[in-house]
């Protein structure tokens, strides 16, 4: 493997991609781009004007066979590159799609390559992963896309949809047993307010879950960003509805209800992770 300090830089338009640090910058400002999309970008920059076939890119990046759905992975990587560059598939300025063939970088590229980096290969940008893990990304309580494990797209996609269906079941179950819930709440002083909040939030959240189910099931574009914008509000709603097992105390014991509450409190964080792992299109 080549010395990271000797890997080249690529300049194109107002952008610069540094293979040694794994960073994409626009006029000096770093633009977040995950490791795999950055590797694809390096391959395109290394051969501007040439067609890179989908098979060639996939074999280079997922040659170990760990990523079973490489078609989705490659599409996602190219979409993230375009988002980072402000590019579009319909009117490309940088990355052109050639139907059933592959991709081509169409903008002029200036390459700065130290003499000792003659043996450089774009796939060696796995160094990027170490660079990001060693401080390029500020640690936080919530995991970033880079910190989450890779998983087959169909698995995270199906798990996310099942969680949405679970919530719809909670809302419909509550609305179908309003009289029983009203009796259960009757000892509380704010019983009437709680009762109407429950009805109102259930009705609103059924519509929200229907939107998420249809958009994710049909793989609508840009759903990753839209969900992340919605997530703080869903977090509040989901944590409140995590108390819903208490409405079933006529049917289950308190210990089981508390265990269910703990799992439901974790659910909104699991949904966020699934979205970052590829449940939704960027």
pLDDT tens for 228-255 read: 999 999 999 999 888 888 777 777 788 8
Please give the span between the terminal C-alpha atoms of the chain, in angstroms, as a whole number: 32
Q: Looking at beta carbons, which pairs linking 64-67 to residues 24 or more positions away fall under 8 Å?
A: 66/150, 67/150
The domain defined by 4-132 folds into Arc Repressor Mutant, subunit A (1.10.10)
Predicted local confidence at residue 120, as pLDDT: 45
Distance, in Å, from the CA atom of 157 to the CA atom of 213, rounded to the nearest integer, reads: 10
- Domain ranges across the chain: 4-132, 153-279
Helix, strand, or coil (residue 11)? strand
Q: Tell me which residue has tokens 């590159």.
A: 81
Q: Rounded mean pLDDT of the chain?
A: 82
pLDDT at residue 42 is higher than 50: yes
What digits encode the pLDDT tens for the residues 94-112? Answer: 999 988 788 999 989 988 8
Does the pTM of the predicted model rise above 0.85?
A: no
Distance, in Å, from the CA atom of 104 to the CA atom of 281, rounded to the nearest integer, reads: 22
Distance, in Å, from the CA atom of 160 to the CA atom of 11, rounded to the nearest integer, reads: 39
Between 140 and 127, residue with greater pLDDT: 140
Mean pLDDT confidence for 70-99: 86
Work out the angle at residue 61's Cα, subtended by the Cα atoms of residues 57 and 64, and round it to the nearest 5 degrees: 125
The DSSP element (H or E) to which 282 belongs, if any, is none
Over pLDDT 70: what percentage of the chain?
A: 83
Predicted local confidence at residue 194, as pLDDT: 83
Strands, sheet with 23-26, edge to edge from the N-terminal-most edge strand = 29-31, 23-26, 15-18, 9-12, 110-112
What digits encode the pLDDT tens for the residues 194-209? Answer: 888 888 999 999 999 9
């Amino acid at each position: 493997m080549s010395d990271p300090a000797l890997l080249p830089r690529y300049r194109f338009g107002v952008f610069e991609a540094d293979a040694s640090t794994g960073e994409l910058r626009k006029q000096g400002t770093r633009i977040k781009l995950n490791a795999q999309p950055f590797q694809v970008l390096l391959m395109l920059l290394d051969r501007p004007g040439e067609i890179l076939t989908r098979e060639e890119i996939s074999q280079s990046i997922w040659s170990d066979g760990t990523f079973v759905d490489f078609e989705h992975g490659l599409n996602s990587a190219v979409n993230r590159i375009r988002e980072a560059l402000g590019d579009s598939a319909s009117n490309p300025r940088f990355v052109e799609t050639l139907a059933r063939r592959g991709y081509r970088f169409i903008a002029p590229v200036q390459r700065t390559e130290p003499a000792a980096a003659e043996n450089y290969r774009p796939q060696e940008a796995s160094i990027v992963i170490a660079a990001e893990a060693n401080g390029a990304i500020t640690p936080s309580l919530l995991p970033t896309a880079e910190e989450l494990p890779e998983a087959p797209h169909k698995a995270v996609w199906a798990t996310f949809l099942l969680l949405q269906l679970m919530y719809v079941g909670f809302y419909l179950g509550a609305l179908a047993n309003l009289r029983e819930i009203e009796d259960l709440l009757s000892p509380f002083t704010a019983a009437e307010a709680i009762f109407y909040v429950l009805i109102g939030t259930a009705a609103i959240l059924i519509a929200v879950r229907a939107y998420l189910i249809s958009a994710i099931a049909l793989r609508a574009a840009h759903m990753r960003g839209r969900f992340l914008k919605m997530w703080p509000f869903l977090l509040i709603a989901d944590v409140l509805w995590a108390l819903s097992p208490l409405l079933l105390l006529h049917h289950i014991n308190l210990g089981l209800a508390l265990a269910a509450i703990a799992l439901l409190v974790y659910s909104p964080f699991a949904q966020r992770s699934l979205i970052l792992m590829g449940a939704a299109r960027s």
